[in-house]
Each structure stands twice: as C-alpha cells, then as structure tokens.
Structure 1
Amino acid sequence: MSVTFEDFGFNRQILNAIADAGYTEATPIQQKAIPPIMNGQDVMGIAQTGTGKTAAYMLPIIMKLKYPQGNDVRALIVAPTRELAIQIEENAKQFATYTGLRIVCLYGGLGPKTQKELIDKGVDIIVATPGRFMDVYLAGHIVTKTLQVLVLDEADKMMDMGFMPQINRILEVVPRKRQNLLFSATMSDKVNQLSANFLEFPTMIEVTPQATPAQTVAQCLYQVPNIKTKINLLKYLLDQPEDIKKLIIFCKTRYAAEDVYKFLLRKFGEKEVRVLHANKGQNTRINSINAFKNDEVKILVATDVAARGIDVSDVSHVINFDVPIIYEDYVHRIGRTGRAFQHGEAITFCTPAEEYYIKKIEKLIRQQITVIPLPPEVFVEETPYQERQDQAMEIDVQKRREDPGFKGAFHEKKTANQRKKFDVAHAKAGKPAARNNRPGKKAAAQKENRKRR
C-alpha cells in the first residue's frame, strides 16, 4: 500500500511545495523516518543514496520550524562536501518555498563575507560543511543557543574524510538539549562510535541492508588489460546507438579525470562534456554540475568528490573508468543512477591490478557483478612496460596486505639476481659460492670484530 505525503499531517504550505516538486508517493526511508522525526525522537537512518533521505529529515524540520522567527539559527545540517551542502540547500529552499524560512549555505572555496552577511540578516536553517561552519562561528556571526535540531548527513563520508575533530567541536558549541538526526549509507565502526556519542536512545531505521546498491541499477564489469584499452572500450560504448541520456564517468584521480575529459573533448566538444574534480575552482564546479543538471551537457567526468549528494534524477548510465579503492564509494558512485524509482546501468572497467578491489566490493555488496566479455570491435592495446611494472607492484602490495609475510615477486627476483652476481664474482675469484659470504654478512662480521677489539 502506497503512502502519500498527505498521510504525515504536513501543513498546506509544505504539501503545495511537495506537489510543485512533483513528488507523490513517499519512499521507504521517508515512510519510516518522518513519523519519529516529527515526534521529536533522535533518529539514525541507514539508507543508500538516491532513496530520498534528504526529504525524510528536511520536511519534518520545516514542519517543526513553520515560519521565520528571531535572528538565530534553529536547525543545522552538516554535510561533508560543498556539492552536497549546495544540493541540500536547494532541496530545503524548494520545500520551504511557501513558509518564508531563511536558509543559508556555508561552504569553503569562496570568501565568507557574503555568507556572514546573509547570517547577520537572520537565519532559520544553516546547511554547512564542518570547517566553514566553525570558521563563521568563531568569527562571532553564529549564535547557537536557539538551535533545536542538528543533522549529520553522509556521516560515513565525514568519517572517511577525517572530520571527526570538527564534528566534536561543533557538538561542544551547540545546546545539549536538542534533537539529533544522523544519516549514513554504511554503518562503519567510526559511524557506530559517532552515533554512541551523538544520539540519545535513537530510533534505528535501515531500509536496505547496509551498503547494498539500489535494486533499480543493473551492474556489469569489463576486464581490460590497460588504460589505452579502457579508452577504446569507452569510445565503443559511446558510439553505440543505445540511449545514454546522461552519463557520469568516475575516475580515481584528478589526473585520470583530466585525461578522459580531454579525450572526450576532442570527440564531442565542450557542448557535450564537463569535468568535475577537487582541483577545479568552486564556481567552475558549481557551473559544471548545473550544466549537467540542466541538460546543457550529456557527459560529466568526475572524481569521487561528486559521488555523493549530486541528485540528478535522470542519469541513465554510470561508468567506473577506474575501480574505487574505498569500497563504499562504489555504492555511492552507482547510486547516481537508478534514482527515484528509475532504472539505470552501472558499467565498471577493471584491469588485473583492480581485480582485488572488485572482490572486496562484491563482498561488501553481497553480490557478484556480472562480467561481460570485451566486444570484438574493441581494439586491445598491448600493455606498455611501465604500466605492466606498475600493475605488478600494485598486485604485490595487495598480496602483502592480505599476507604480511609475502615478500613479493620483485623482492624474490631482486634477491635471486643478487645471489647470481655474488656466485659469479666468487667463482671468478676462485672462492666457493657460499651464501654466508655476501657483502652484507661480511660487513656485519667486520663490524662485530671491531667491537671486540
């Protein structure tokens, strides 16, 4: 039985805003989270991205605050990245259209002057990244004594990014008596620890098993030998007549993202593709996201800075050009498609050095990703010597991670070559090829003799 937003007892202003946004049925996380939040309980919600959790906490907050009152903040939402903070602010303003509530977003990358001026005019809801919130607070522009609700969104990402000290500082400056809401896509040990310090007798809501991808996303995997073959495969997929309405291509570094972007720029031009990574200025990043949202461009190349919180409902495909090293990021990447009950497709390119991470991801999501053979039309490039060496070294590191006693192919090869050189040198000098007669052993023996003297 479907649940509509009328069933929650929202006032007419909020219901009109929800109707304007085009929402009719509540998602599972909204059905489970809205009633306890409306009742003033602390809530911990575990839900994958794209399930509507922003509305799940934002609608009850707006209902609680109702209209502008005083000059000081009454609700604070903390998010890990600028992009997510901006996204939450947009949703908040959309739902609060008919209430007059004053909403301010605080994030770095831009000068704080304008943000401070907006707060000084009076504010009801602040959406902020941890660092910028503390900067503006310490500058004396935020008074927290009237704060009623504190939300930590994407708590697992905040822990991964090392924001625990800033979160603890925020908890020190807000009133002890308040409602706390924590939302996360995964339940790591750090999130568990944070929830124990942050929440009081919380209502636990988990709409899907932890770290499972949305059921509306079809996943597949191509095994490729090297980066050049990845580019050839990408070109092949983009040349297919299948309807890729909107595509996000994820890369693990900004250098890889730039390389893929330059390739696509030559192929499609600026009218079709944008790039988003941490090395871009804040205005450029916002413009890239807006161009992608507004259908001005079809393809967005991004690092994991865009993996969370970018709510573009009609992304049809996600391509993992590189396999993410942080396993949970896989769930967030593919969560950019298949949003709001729509179907999407997630395609991953995997080299031999990345197979280790695929096994870890499959264990995390508790399912196997379907492997598809490379199409015969895709030209398989020969792996260059340096890339082959890099892959072998990466595989050695992975094996050592699983087995600390593992010496590695490079270590064994080097040792064998050294022994051969020693044996040849000793043979030329007429000495036996004794293993104990190596330079290292000899130097140690001479040092010991000197000590005895």
Structure 2
Amino acid sequence: MGKEIETFEDFKLNRQLLNAIEELGFTEPTPIQKSAIPLVLAGHDVMGIAQTGTGKTAAFVLPILMKIKYAQGADPRALILAPTRELVLQIEENIRMYSTYLDIRYTTLYGGVGAKTQIEAVQQGVDIVLATPGRFMDVYLKGELNTKFIKTFVLDEADKMMDMGFMPQIRKILEVIPVKRQNLLFSATMADRVLKLSEEFLEFPEIVEVAPQATTTDTVEQQLYQVPNMRTKINFLEYLLRKEEFKRVLVFTRTKSTADNVFKYLDRKGLGPVRVIHSNKGQNSRINAINEFKEGELKVLVSTDVSARGIDVSMVSHVINFDVPIIYEDYVHRIGRTGRARNEGVALTFANKAEMLHIGKIQELIRAEIPQKPLPEEIEVTETPRQEKIDIEMDIDVFKRRENPDFKGAFHEKKKHYSQRPNKKSGTKGKKSRRK
C-alpha cells in the first residue's frame, strides 16, 4: 500500500473533505478506515467485516464523496442500501457532515412515510441515493429512478439484511443496476449467508476484517445477571437508573409490548426523561426520540432491536439488555451502542433461566465469556407467577428441541388411551345404548 496511513491527509482526499473532517474534530482514521478507504478509492470490490462503533460508515462514505466530487446530471451515481430507516438516516447524517463543502445532492428513500416527497427529491436530480430495499424498488417501479449511471453500490449491515429477509428485494435490485460497477459490502459478522450473498455480486473482493468477526469492542465492559422473572428485572432496572452514573441509557427489549410496559413504568416512576421506539411508532416519533437522545435531552431510550443498529450516539453510558436477543448477532449490535468513538461504556444483560441457554450461544459467537455477577442484595427478588413459570419452561423446551429434535420436552406426555378405560358415567348401559 506504500506509505502507512496515519492521518486523513494520507488518503489524498480533496481539500473540501479534509476541511470538513478537521472541523468535526477527527484527527486519526480508525482501523477500518485505514484499511478500506484506499481499497475503495482504488476501485476494488470490498467486503468489510467490522463491528458497530468502528467508523465503518465513513469508510465507504468518504471515498464515495471523493469519487463523485460534484453534482452532475440528474441521475444517481451511487446507491447505498441499509436494512432500516434509522440506519439510512444515520448514513445520511454522515454524508451531510462530510459534504459540507461539496456540491453533492443526496436523498433518502424509506418506508413508513409517503413516497411523494421522496419522489420529488429524486426528480430534482440526485447524485447519491440512500435507501431501504423495499422503498427503492417501489420508486424504481414507478419509473422515477434511472439506475443506468450507478457506478458504486453499497450494501450496509448485510447480516441484518439477511435476518430481515431482504434477499429477494436485493436480488431484484441487482438486476436493475448496471453490471459494471464497484460493489462494497459491510457486515458485523461473516455469517455463512453473508458469504453466500457476497459470492453473488462481489468480484474478487478485498476482504477487510479489522477485528475477529462478531467480537465485542474492548471499550465495553460486559456484565451478566441471572434474574428469575419480569418483576425482578423491573426492580433491578429501577435500582440501576437511580444511580448517578447511569446518565444516558439504552434499554433493549425483545418485544414491542415489553418495551411499552418498561417505558410506562419508568415514566410513572419519574426515572426519565424517557421515550420508547419500535416499529409501531410513527417515523417522526422515532426520529424525534433518537434526536432527543443524541442531544442529551433524554436519560433513557427504550427500544426493540429495530433500532439496535440505527442509533449512533457517542456518549451512551450504559446499554441494558432487559431481554436476551434470540438472534445472537443482535447482542453485538446492541452493546455496540455504547463504548463508541473510543469512549468507555458498560453493557448489562438480564437473563432468566431460559435466556441463560441463549447466553451460552452468544458466548460461542463472540468467543468470550460474559462475566456473571450476583444481584445486589438491595434488589427485591419476587416469586415467579405461575404463567410466567410455564412460559419459561416452554421456552426451554423450544430451545432444547431446536438443539435436539428427539427431545420430548418437559410438557410431553404420552397420549392416554381413554378408550381402554371404563366409561364411569355410562358403564355397561352406555355400551348397550351404542349398539342400538
């Protein structure tokens, strides 16, 4: 590669980009940026494996801005796909920051809001399109997007794309953009399905892996607590949020209903300011909540995994996994919301008996043991309600059956052949009546 990269100037970026970078206070590129930017600028297809919080967005945004340089024509020359609206908006924010002194037009296409305004933005001329797969195809099929000038195609968070079932839309998009183009794929994990996807459209890619895949950042202190039930989890959460060091906290839940219940409890107890975001919340509500969290107006943001990869806030003090994610890669993305931009953070995980089984799988994925700590003595440990006990046992059965299809389960009982038992009510008379 020649001279070792030490500063952004070593990339030979144009002065407009360097001025923007300097004003943002960035001095030294991150490892993913040092490795990927020269390869992207040289025109290679690149597969980047990097966990969240490593600066990977700038690793593709900066070279794209360098190559496009200025507004030209009416049709897009670069397409960046991301799995969620939040992530699209996060990438847009990066482009906005770095293109301060550039005459470059960009627009976002995502669902959850009407397409009219987005289509009008495309019609006015655009150089870079940032989109979720579904909305991109919607606008394309309306005849509003000319894709024949696209020279750079980026697939960000490819592993999440696979988890969310976007493969059919991605294949359709690959059919409508030029075959001759530069392809960039970024993912936090090099899962088998991601490798399979990369083989479909990357040509002799340069693979950049700045840390072992699916590892967790060194700046995050991980803690695991075995918490028997929902009520005790709530008690523990309240106890933590009353501590002074819990200044800006992300609480992740597995379901929307749990997120809403946690939000209502914290709000009622005055442990906020607190907001909740999930897929049932309107787009404006979600954007406003994330912005308030970024600006320090919220102490707590409760979220489902829909936002695990779409929140780019550098000063999150703590991430709390109120529930353990059952898509194990999401653990990496959740805790990657803290310890960002070389700041230190703490990630705490609450796990009941069933969830501890998933912890074992997560530890296999990250190739590390999550330090387990005892619950503080001050926490009231309540008795698990009967229905919750049943739900936990059923979750254990589901896990064990997935691991071993021959497992019968705690709730398995052989069917009793009642036909062999005497009919106490009807007895012999009943049998005679059936013969008639």
> C-alpha distance in 2, partners of 1:240/1:140?
55
1:15 is paired with a residue whose SS is: helix
Match of residue 165, structure 1, among 165, 168, 181 = 168
Q: Distance in 1 between matches of 2:92 and 2:264?
A: 32
Shift of 1:2: 7.4
Partner of 1:438: none
Alignment CA distance shift 1:145-1:368 (3 Å)? same
SS of 2:112's equivalent in the other structure is coil
Match runs of 1:231-310 below 5 Å: 231-241=234-244, 243-268=245-270, 272-310=273-311
Q: CA deviation at 1:54?
A: 0.4
Give the superposition deviation at 1:93.
1.3
| Equivalent residues of 1:48, 1:335 under 8 A apart | yes
In the TM superposition, residue 287 of structure 1 has moved relative to its aligned partner by 0.8
Deviation at 1:240, TM superposition (A): 2.1
Q: Deviations over 1:411-450 (max 9, x none)?
A: 14x65xx48x8998599999xxxxxxxxxxxxxxxxxxxx
Does the CA-based 8 Å contact 1:2-1:25 persist in structure 2?
no
Match of 2:138 in 1: 135
Counterpart residue number, 1:24: 27
- The alpha-carbon deviation at position 20 of structure 1 amounts to 1.9
Q: Residue in 2 aligned with 1:407?
A: 408
The total of aligned residue pairs comes to 425
Question: Hey, what's the Cα distance between the residues in 2 that align with 1:167 and 1:20?
Answer: 36
What is the alpha-carbon distance in structure 1 between the residues aligned to residue 99 and residue 216 of structure 2? 30
- Which 5+ residue runs of structure 1 have no aligned equivalent? 431-453
Give the superposition deviation at 1:407.
1.1
Report the counterpart of residue 358 of structure 1 in structure 2.
359
Q: Which residue of 2 aligns with 1:437?
A: none
Q: How does 1:21-420 map to 2 (within 5 A)?
A: 21-241=24-244, 243-268=245-270, 272-412=273-413, 418=416
CA contact (8 A) 1:134 1:170 kept: yes
CA distance in 2, matches of 1:373, 1:261: 25
| 1:309 positional shift | 3.0
Matches of 1:119 and 1:346 in 2, distance apart?
A: 41
Structure 1 residue 146 displacement after superposition: 1.2
The letter of the residue matching 2:162 is: M
The structural deviation recorded for 1:356 is: 1.1
SS at match of 1:109: coil
SS at match of 1:172: helix
CA distance in 2, matches of 1:341, 1:209: 18
Q: Is the 8 A contact 1:119 1:142 kept in 2?
A: yes
| Residue 366 of structure 1: how far off its partner (Å) | 0.5
> Partners of 1:360 and 1:77 in 2: how far apart?
32
Contact 1:49 1:309 in 2 (8 A): no
Amino acid at match of 1:131: G
Q: Are the aligned partners of 2:309 and 2:334 in contact in 1 as well (CA < 8 Å)?
A: yes
- Aligned to 1:201, the other structure's residue is in SS state coil
Distance 1:252 1:425 in 2: 49
Structure 2 gaps of 5+ residues are 428-436
Q: Determine if contact 1:337/1:345 at 8 Å carries over to the other structure.
A: yes
Equivalents in 1 of 2:30, 2:345: separation in Å? 18
| Structure 2 residue corresponding to 1:12, chosen from 15, 31, 34 | 15
Superposition deviation, residue 125 in structure 1: 0.6
Separation (CA, whole Å) in 2 of partners of 1:157 and 1:198: 17
Give the letter for the 2:321 counterpart: N
- TM-score scaled by structure 1? 0.91
CA distance in structure 1 between the partners assigned to 2:205 and 2:333 by the alignment: 25
SS of match in other structure, 2:290: helix
1:446 corresponds in structure 2 to: none
Comparing 394-403 and 289-298, the one that deviates more: 394-403
Q: For residues 282 and 255 of structure 1, what CA distance do their matches in structure 2 show?
A: 18
Distance 1:422 1:406 in 2: 28
